[in-house]
Amino acid sequence: MTTGPGEHTAAVAAVLSRLGAEDRSRLLAVLAHRFHDLDLAEDVLSDAMVAAMERWPEAGTPDNPAAWLLTVAKNRALDIVRGDAVRARRLATLRIEDELVAGEARDHSEELVESFGSARIPDERLNLFFTCSHPTLKTSEQVALILRCLGGLSTAEVAAGFLVDTTTMQQRLVRAKKRIRVTGIPFRRPADDELPERLPPVLRVLYLIYTQGYVATAGPAHVRPELTTEAIRLTRVLAHLLPAETEVRGLLALFLLTEARQATRSDAEGLPVPLSRQERSRWDSSLIVEGLSLVTRAAGEPGSGGYTIQAAIAALHAEAASFADTDWKQIRVLYAMLHRLEPTPMVALAEAVAISRSEGPRAGLRALEEVGLEGRRPFHIARSIMLREVGDEAAGAAEAERARRCPGNDAESAFIDL
């Protein structure tokens, strides 16, 4: 039985879909590194996808689809540069002027693709991580670029994840790309002596992406699993690219051990479920095993820091058979260590909760007096719980009302109202 054009087109679409975020980000990174222009790289990769939809149904899907796309995108970029004097002058310094010779504008992708197997496509994603997280960029721009360029999310998806409209996110991306272009941010891995300064912003961006998914700052849902999943995927990529970096493994361990509880953190109505009430038998044991292995290794290495400490805390929760069996004294020690490294109010709040669990709610309330997070929902929730545990129901209810009035997601607000 013969197949029609529609079936061929559907098959091509399926192949392109299977390429996924991993291949797309790898191709984009190669193009961005070569042409030092994120806009150009995104445009020509999109053009290559369109070309595939037009050509593959008739010519057949190539053996190496990613290599075919890369070659077509590269040729398209060269065509654009030939017609843009400003780009041509800028890119001449990148030593690709030999490819801008007149008469080379023909599409020779078919000639090159056989010798450019997918296994030979260089992995330039590490360069893109550091470009997108350069200190010159604002944090909001760093987050948006990593999700868009390395995560493969559409602008609309990035906007939805951070609860802004698509136009606002598009403007943020445009500003970030312009800043990269104008300031000449390099598309390269930092030198070894630069890495200690440049890696923390990358890890911070991944942490922000995960935490926004773990507890949404606003909107109807308590959790955003698409963001936590993407943060884990990106951190796995980074761990593969930087296998010697302890804190990358520590961050991945933290994400995995936290993600292991994800299925139990909301009930059937989407309302939050406190850790004390979660059904531990439903925690993801495979993620726990992997996370414990990573944190055990990271904790014993030089270079372990705040993310590894947080992963160690998550490990203690994962290893406890029940909430009552949790080693809160050790958790308090770890939070004290973390507070010395990162003396922030949110770490102080977490330490106060650990004090409450290990020494009693009155000690926890005294610790909260030093936190200074009035007007933040987590502070008032913690204070409400501690006040009720010492028997002051009226004060606890008043703190819960203060918590409900603070900014936060709708599901959490509904839970506080119960």
Q: Which domains does the chain have, with CATH numbers?
A: 5-119 (no CATH), 328-418 (1.25.40)
| pLDDT (0 to 100) of residue 17 | 72
Which range is most confident: 147-156, 196-205, 284-293? 284-293
The answer to which of 10-19, 187-196, 243-252 has the lowest mean pLDDT is: 10-19
- The Cα–Cα gap between 260 and 265 comes to 10
| pLDDT (0 to 100) of residue 98 | 42
Share of the chain above pLDDT 90, in %: 65
| pLDDT (0 to 100) of residue 82 | 80
Mean pLDDT of the chain: 88
Per-residue model confidence as pLDDT tens digits over 117-158: 444 678 899 999 999 999 999 999 999 999 999 988 889 888
Dihedral angle sign, alpha carbons of residues 178, 179, 185, 190: negative
Residue 241 pLDDT > 80, yes or no? yes
Q: How confident is the model at residue 109 (pLDDT cuts 50, 70, 90)?
A: very low
| pLDDT (0 to 100) of residue 88 | 61
User: Do residues 40 and 48 touch, judged by C-beta distance below 8 A?
Assistant: no
Residue 99 pLDDT > 90, yes or no? no
Token pair in block for residue 19 = 């390429």
User: Do residues 261 and 283 touch, judged by C-beta distance below 8 A?
Assistant: yes
- The Cα–Cα gap between 391 and 388 comes to 5
Encoded amino acid at 302, one letter: P
Q: How confident is the model at residue 92 (pLDDT cuts 50, 70, 90)?
A: low
> 3-class SS at 332?
helix
| pLDDT (0 to 100) of residue 103 | 39
Residue 111 pLDDT > 50, yes or no? no
| pLDDT (0 to 100) of residue 244 | 93
Number of Cβ within a 10 Å radius of residue 220: 11
Residue 19 pLDDT > 80, yes or no? no
- Packing angle between helix 306-319 and helix 328-341, nearest 10 degrees? 170
The better pLDDT of the pair 1, 386 is held by 386
| pLDDT (0 to 100) of residue 282 | 97
| Residue 206 vs residues 170, 201, 230: alpha-carbon distances, Å | 20, 9, 9
> 3-class SS at 84?
coil
Per-residue model confidence as pLDDT tens digits over 250-276: 999 999 999 999 999 999 999 999 999
Q: What's the rounded mean pLDDT across residues 302-324?
A: 96
Backbone angles phi, psi at 152, to 5 degrees: 75, 10
Token pair in block for residue 414 = 């509904």
Per-residue model confidence as pLDDT tens digits over 320-359: 999 999 999 999 999 999 999 999 999 999 999 999 999 9
Q: How confident is the model at residue 62 (pLDDT cuts 50, 70, 90)?
A: confident
Q: How confident is the model at residue 107 (pLDDT cuts 50, 70, 90)?
A: very low
Encoded amino acid at 287, one letter: L
User: Do residues 213 and 228 touch, judged by C-beta distance below 8 A?
Assistant: yes
CA triple 142-147-148, angle to 5 deg: 100
Helices (H), 133-223: 139-145, 155-161, 166-183, 195-214
Residue 165 pLDDT > 50, yes or no? yes
Encoded amino acid at 385, one letter: I
| pLDDT (0 to 100) of residue 116 | 43
User: Do residues 258 and 214 touch, judged by C-beta distance below 8 A?
Assistant: yes
Residue 207 pLDDT > 90, yes or no? yes
- Residue 272, beta-bridge partner list: 266
Residue 12 pLDDT > 80, yes or no? no
Backbone angles phi, psi at 124, to 5 degrees: -100, 15
Give 239-285 as a 3 state SS string: HHHCCCCHHHHHHHHHHHHHHCCHHHCECCCCCECCHHHCCHHHCCH
| pLDDT (0 to 100) of residue 112 | 41
> 3-class SS at 416?
helix
Q: How confident is the model at residue 405 (pLDDT cuts 50, 70, 90)?
A: very high
* Residues 6 or more apart in contact with residue 347 via CB below 8 angstroms: 335, 338, 339
| pLDDT (0 to 100) of residue 145 | 93
The answer to which of 217-221, 325-329, 392-396 has the lowest mean pLDDT is: 217-221
- The Cα–Cα gap between 93 and 75 comes to 19
Share of the chain above pLDDT 70, in %: 89
* Residues 6 or more apart in contact with residue 61 via CB below 8 angstroms: 11, 12, 15
Residue 206 pLDDT > 50, yes or no? yes
User: Do residues 231 and 180 touch, judged by C-beta distance below 8 A?
Assistant: no
Instruction: Tell the residue number behind the tokens 């406190």, with chain if given.
Output: 274
Q: What's the rounded mean pLDDT across residues 387-391?
A: 97
- Residue 266, beta-bridge partner list: 272
| pLDDT (0 to 100) of residue 110 | 45
Backbone region of residue 391 per phi and psi (left: phi > 0; alpha: psi in -120 to 50; beta: other values): left
* Residues 6 or more apart in contact with residue 277 via CB below 8 angstroms: none
